[in-house]
Amino acid sequence: MKQGALSQKEFNRKVKYAFESLEMLDVLTKDIDRINDITIDSSKVKYESDLQCWMRIMVRTIIDSMDALIYRLRELSRDLIKLRGIEEKLPPKPKKTNLRYIFKVFAVALDSAFEIKEDDMRLNDYSDAREIRRRITHPKKLKNLNISADKEYVKFADTYVWFSDCFKQLIAQSKSIK
């Protein structure tokens, strides 16, 4: 075995870690669904301030969930690439690491054909979602705490569904963990 390479036992542990990430995604999605049920059912929310509170909780939960999964992707990718000795197959690193690049690296690590297309407009929605989260977490003005239910909130929910689907497709298309 190459020096620094992971053993088969360690590789199997990493694969288990990937599947655990899918389970984690399911748990977090259920949390988001519960929050969504509250915000959509107007009988459960009496005041606009309550609705705003729940939407802010939802925004933070979604971004935190995506960040947790991205962290796991990075960690697992690094180890699997090292184990498989395929550093040369990595795509060139962009000046600023982005979601598309992270998914590319993980696809290489798992020998997956999955790719987020460069012109996928949902990448912009992902960036917008992060900006909304930044705005409500570090508000400069009182109005920065407000989330529009018809545009921003819906975009957030759609972005999470897209992100979850990407993550699941990436795992499903892997040739190395079947």
Instruction: For residues 109 and 89, give the distance between their C-alpha atoms in angstroms, rounded to a whole number.
Output: 9
| pLDDT at residue 41 in the model | 65
For the chain, how many helices (H) and strands (E)?
5, 0
pTM comes to: 0.76
Instruction: For residues 5 and 21, give the distance between their C-alpha atoms in angstroms, rounded to a whole number.
Output: 23
Q: What does the pLDDT average to over 60-79?
A: 84
- 148 CB neighbour count, 10 Å cutoff: 11
Cα-based angle 64, 70, 73 (whole degrees, multiple of 5): 150
| pLDDT at residue 1 in the model | 44
Of all residues in the chain, what percent carry a pLDDT higher than 90?
Answer: 10
pLDDT, averaged across the chain: 81
Which residue ranges make up each domain of the chain? 8-172
Instruction: For residues 167 and 103, give the distance between their C-alpha atoms in angstroms, rounded to a whole number.
Output: 8
